Copies of this chain bind each other. A is one copy, B any other.
């Protein structure tokens, strides 16, 4: 099977112009089929404030109102996505195409079911159209996804970018030997959050349970880890959590996930 690289860059990378440019230059130069998924960064919060759109939080979780959704669609699918595409296009080796889940019906989702909290316009992924994404790649294109999905009935949703990355990686495993990279500002999963070099280089499922029990992996890292193991359980060959320079410098210290 042909190899496919699926890379996700987090909001902190998007927010840092120098780090983003460096990542995009390296990513564009990778000479194999590839897909990029990008997070949003702090700009959505900044622009929402300027526009007078309030960001409601319940139990530390962000609620996506209609007005928040509009801001997120503008910035993620518009400003950030199209600037990333234009920059990748400046490399002769990366024919990037910017996409949301609505485009070509690539990712359908449903509104997250209301249990204790109504998250608003947040979508949980239902299906990734792997066949169409495969067609784009086979035709020489590099898909670049913002984390926006739709329900097929005219409604857009804000969706977790880590989950989109793992769902795309899983769906494309029918066509490719897929490696999934979660790239962010740190070097990997840290044993000590105050020590940037305390990278835990290998985490398998039993080690993961230990680290959770010890409280070393907590909060925002938990859903990311769930996405990683979910991908490994569904035929994704490799999953890495690494700094954004890792894509082109694979000897760098980072975290490798295994079952």
Assuming the contacts A51-B47, A135-B139, asked whether A105 and B95 have C-beta atoms less than 8 A apart, the reply is: yes
- Please, which residues of chain B bring their CB within 8 A of the CB of A99? 97
Interface centre among A77, A86, A102, A155 (most CB of B within 10 A): A86
Query: Which of A67-75, A203-211, A214-222, A230-238 is the interface stretch?
Result: A67-75
Which of B74, B90, B95, B96 is the one whose CB lies under 8 Å from A74?
Answer: B74
Expressed in whole angstroms, the Cα–Cα distance for A105 and B154 within the complex equals 27
A153 CB-CB contact with B under 8 Å:
yes
Closest Cβ neighbor of A156 among chain B residues? B86
Contact of A89 among B74, B81, B86, B105 (CB under 8 A): B105
B89–A82 touching, CB < 8 Å: no
- Chain B minimum-CB-distance residue to A70: B79
Tell me how many residues of A have a C-beta within 8 Å of chain B: 40
Q: How many copies of this chain sit in the oligomeric assembly?
A: 2
Docked-complex contact B89 and A152, CB < 8 angstroms? yes
Q: Once bound together, how far apart are the Cα atoms of A163 and B170, in whole Å?
A: 42
Interface residues of A in 97-115 (CB under 8 A from B): 97-100, 102-105
A98 partner, pick from B47, B70, B102, B154, beta carbons under 8 A: B102
Complex Cα distance, B97 from A42, in Å, reads 27
Which residues of B lie under 8 Å from residue A74 when comparing CB positions? 74-75, 78-79
CA distance A89 to B141 in the complex (A): 22
For residue A257, CB closer than 8 A to chain B, the reply is: no
Which B residues are in CB contact (< 8 Å) with A105?
Answer: 89, 95
27 A-B pairs with C-beta separation under 8 A: A47-B51, A50-B52, A51-B51, A73-B78, A73-B82, A73-B83, A74-B78, A75-B78, A77-B77, A77-B78, A77-B81, A78-B79, A82-B100, A82-B103, A85-B150, A86-B150, A86-B155, A89-B102, A89-B105, A89-B150, A89-B154, A90-B154, A95-B104, A96-B104, A97-B103, A97-B104, A104-B141
Which residues of A does B touch, CB under 8 Å?
47, 50-52, 70, 73-79, 81-83, 85-87, 89-90, 95-100, 102-105, 135, 139, 141, 148, 150, 152-156
